[in-house]
Structure 1
């Protein structure tokens, strides 16, 4: 058999998928499961977007596009930053990608030398480590606890940066914690990276789903940052596999060359349909759904405290609650298995998100209907005697 590259051994399994497979087997056997595991909105594409896709199919708009995306979509994304976030972005800096995953893969291919270190918080979205590894770099997860809002900080950069470090990869708001980096803390962090001539990749796929404070893009801090975003979360188009990068003007050519060779282009049909995301009617839909997510969060937070599933940092975005379950178990993996087996509630243990105290924490997703979340709380109440 062919010998696999050694990097494959450095990429760990996505444990949540094993839990989800177990939940699926239970459902197939007739058991009702409340899913609080996968980070996928229960909402789907807005009606105007679906209509735009149907029209694009009928018009045969399925041929290759430029590697950086169709011009109208790049212009629409830039206009969205101006009207929603108050940032003027040259559309030439926008590169349309095959989802945020495609954007992060492209960014790591462009910026991470073999053996280079990239700092990131622990806990973090597990694939962020693996994008760096796949590019030949070394992900360096830095333990980031409640006192850091579970985020990388300027002090972490000062303490952990060395001659092999190339940059940082952060997300705000974050998966799994739903926490955002405070604006002043982000400025300080970026300044520390700049002092060291490093890069900063900022994943903002949950920025549209921020509930507390002003929704402010890191793009406002200067044109030297690499901004990642997606149509998956705020626009509820996960399977459409469409996202974007905003890159420094001097790097556009390099990113375009890599995109031409590695992906050709993002889905042409999805690109044409995504133009309808920015109509007033569609934006009203997305904002109404954002309020629905906020309602779910605000229902769950006090209920979790009552259940002894303590939330050390209030999530201000995304659709996750990162809960301290140590009152009930020293092992979040065992506790997740118990919730699934005895209460029919599927949630994710901390082992997927890093090595900093993973047995203490679990991620609960509230990307499901409020009535189902209420059912999950009722079941956990009975199980935990609350």
Structure 2
């Protein structure tokens, strides 16, 4: 299965009346933010605006989040620097939740071109400063390690749509002689584009990301993620404002990616299978953008740590082996007695207040569908084993 999507993106808003607004930008900036909030329906889709004391994008001074959510989304500005404008920063998780909530509230899908068109205003100009385009190969047996080895040995090359070879730096994350992530191009501040190819299944499983449930069900999942900044992002923005359909969006995203990144076998000069599949999407008539159901997995991660990293089960096994199942039951009762007098600290209370509604809506990360990692068995007798 091959999926195409926009991942994270950043929009910058600039006042249309800088010559007057600069004298009182601290106030005028807030007015523009409120105007933007209404156009983008942030209060309805995410929740009430709250000023944050930290986590503001670099260089900005005042930032706002919306609702109590587990993802990174921020609208920020600097009261003393009108030239910096207002930054709107969507993480991939935030954009997935925005799309999901918007669909539930307004009973229609929203893609990035719809969103950018929705926030147009006579009071400010807007443009993308960053946009990520991603191809996801799921259960397609596309190996990050193999592609990296082919590139590093010169057996594969990357060319643009005009046939020009990409001479950008190749770098990788290598562990135990295995590559799970590699980059084409520098990730420096002023770089206009780079490509990241990585094991998305591994990343989601290690971080308990918002697509963790999908990841564990797949045999393999490789992502090709192009990051466009500066002039490239600006050009894409102008094109996104012109399109009206998801099919036009599909063609634009595929073309933008493959204009810069196409993989070829050096000796034969033929495109790799995965590049051919990317290009084939342009002419695919039954294509539709996949909408993941984003989930927060922090509680799942805590439970997994208890099951596999805390030493709880080895302790239970020792008790069971020494004192039998009755001893194990007594130990569980002891734990519940200790829990009865436990007093959560402020961090725990704050977490519950923030995520209570989300988890009630999302459902338990345990229960009937979750097989227990350990099935306690009664000991043959209740006498301790000899330790010879």
Shorter chain as normaliser: what TM range?
under 0.3
Choose between structure 1 and 2: higher helix proportion: 1
TM-score, normalized by length of structure 2? 0.27
TM-score, normalized by length of structure 1? 0.27
Structure possessing the higher radius of gyration over alpha carbons = 2
